[in-house]
Amino acid sequence: MPKAQHPLPGRIVILGAGPCGLACANELDRLGHRNWTLLEAAPTVGGLASSVVDRAGFTWDLGGHVVFSHFGEFDQLLGELFAPHELLHHDRSSYIRFRDRWVPYPFQQHLHCLPQADAEACLRSLTHACQQREQTLPTDTDFATWLQAQYGSGLVERFFAPYNTKVWATSPEKMSASWVAERVAPVDLDEILAAFYGVKAPMQRWGPNSKFAFPSVGGTGEIWRRLGTRLGNRVRTRAPATSIDPGACLVRLESGEAVPFDQVVATLPLDGLAAMTTTSPLDVREAARRLKHTTVAMVGLGYRSPTLDERSWFYFPEDDVPFYRATNFSKYAPANVPGADTTAFSSWMTEISVMPGTRVNQRALVKAADAALRRHRLVPGLAELATAHVEMIPYAYPIPTLDRDEALALTVPWLEGQAIHPRGRFGTWRYEIGNMDHAVKMGVDIARRLVTGATEELLSSQDAVPVGSRS
């Protein structure tokens, strides 16, 4: 009996030219399926991974991006787009500012670097937490409870609670712990004790970004500019979609144009996607509206002064600093400053998280960020400020709230049933798979699924329904 063939996907409309949408289009071409159109609302491609050049000639990313990978598909794409010499490679060197000192990251693995009283308090509560760890936490545990159980009150009070509150603009009590995975470093009490008592050196750098790459020119956005150029005129910028009509199989644009589709791959935020889908029922829209996210102000500060600091980035849990992270951006690539002259210029990229709708005084943020960099001696006190560039990122990070998974379980399957496939950081609304390499993998996976029927490897099977079915 002949094997049943996978039905052809027909015309595919991709919404959003970020890493996920571009990777999807690229994979469709590779598979020989050229019946696709990619629509991007912005003037340029790249989405959250874009880069901009300000009037003074400084290059800025939209937040702290570095290039590392869990997936061969992402590695292959970089190899196609860049010659080896066009990517600069770095060993991560990151620190946390605590009281009067810099503590190496991860904080919990370097208690021996803290003031003695703080170190002893952290160690006591951490030891107690480790002794109690055989008590299994419920799967729906909130993030605050998980942190207490994992690290103890000393570490939570000094670092985890204040830092995570700054990052998420939300208290850990209102967040789920289901997202943690490799995002929060584990602890090995024996190794921490050995380092504390000077028996052995601290453990090796932790995490998938302990080594990272960065484009030599153009910032992170150069990756996506090159891919967009390669894909050609089927990538349409300045083409914002206003509605999706599953019954008529049409995506309607702000211009009035109607674009027909058989399948939609949507990388725009899930709450907006549900609202713009004309047939979405009330319970789906309400579930999507419950999803929460942060807005981030990226304050880029360029100085007419070189930096001798070789460290990569810094975390700031304490509330005397407005930003939660500062990136030594001229270290990533000399071309991030005018004329690639790091003997004359330096640049620092800072990130401040707020809840959507918060009124932000950009001048005040610039002044506060500049003062904090000088106060903590990352910038010389007399260095001339050559530029200050602010980028407001309305959708920065999806917040893993306590009811997120419940909302996703209602929203995503319904959209899939309309042949609308939400993917990418804000399509899936999962911070835990929100890096560039995850986005590329999702784009590749959905392209393969639509064309060949292959199972998506990154997303769990519960999110998918058979291609072409409509409820």
Segments making up each domain of the chain, as ranges: 12-41+239-291+401-463, 95-196, 293-399
283-287, 305-309, 338-342, range with the lowest pLDDT: 305-309
What is the rounded distance in angstroms from the CA atom of residue 181 to the CA atom of residue 149?
15
> Taking Cα atoms as reference points, which of 175, 186, 183 lies closest to residue 149?
186
136-145, 170-179, 367-376, range with the lowest pLDDT: 136-145
What is the rounded distance in angstroms from the CA atom of residue 135 to the CA atom of residue 101?
35
Predicted pLDDT at 48:
95
How much is the average pLDDT of 155-166? 96
26 vs 150, higher pLDDT: 26
> Taking Cα atoms as reference points, which of 171, 192, 194, 203 lies closest to residue 122?
192
CATH assignment, 95-196: 1.10.3110
Predicted pLDDT at 191:
77
- Evaluate whether 445 touches 457 at the Cβ level (below 8 Å): yes
398 backbone dihedrals φ, ψ, rounded to 5° = -75, 130
> Taking Cα atoms as reference points, which of 122, 175, 173 lies closest to residue 152?
122
Domain 293-399 -> CATH class: alpha beta
Q: 77 falls in which pLDDT band (50, 70, 90)?
A: very high
Q: Is 441 helix (H, G, I), strand (E, B) or coil?
A: helix
- Evaluate whether 390 touches 297 at the Cβ level (below 8 Å): yes
C-alpha pair distances (Å), 363 with each of 297, 300, 360, 367, 389? 12, 12, 9, 6, 10
What burial class does residue 397 get, using C-beta atoms within 10 Å of its C-beta: 0-12 exposed, 13-18 middle, 19+ buried? buried
> Taking Cα atoms as reference points, which of 174, 175, 415, 426 lies closest to residue 283?
415
Predicted pLDDT at 205:
56
What is the rounded distance in angstroms from the CA atom of residue 169 to the CA atom of residue 171?
7
What is the rounded distance in angstroms from the CA atom of residue 33 to the CA atom of residue 112?
57
For residue range 379-427, list pLDDT tens digits in order.
999 999 999 999 999 999 999 999 999 999 999 999 999 999 999 999 9
The answer, yes or no, to whether residue 203 has pLDDT greater than 80, is no
Architecture of domain 12-41+239-291+401-463: 3-Layer(bba) Sandwich (3.50)
The answer, yes or no, to whether residue 459 has pLDDT greater than 60, is yes
- Evaluate whether 27 touches 72 at the Cβ level (below 8 Å): no
Predicted pLDDT at 465:
41
Q: DSSP code of 457?
A: S
Which tokens sit at 33? 């399926």
Q: 471 falls in which pLDDT band (50, 70, 90)?
A: very low
Predicted pLDDT at 1:
44
244 vs 381, higher pLDDT: 244
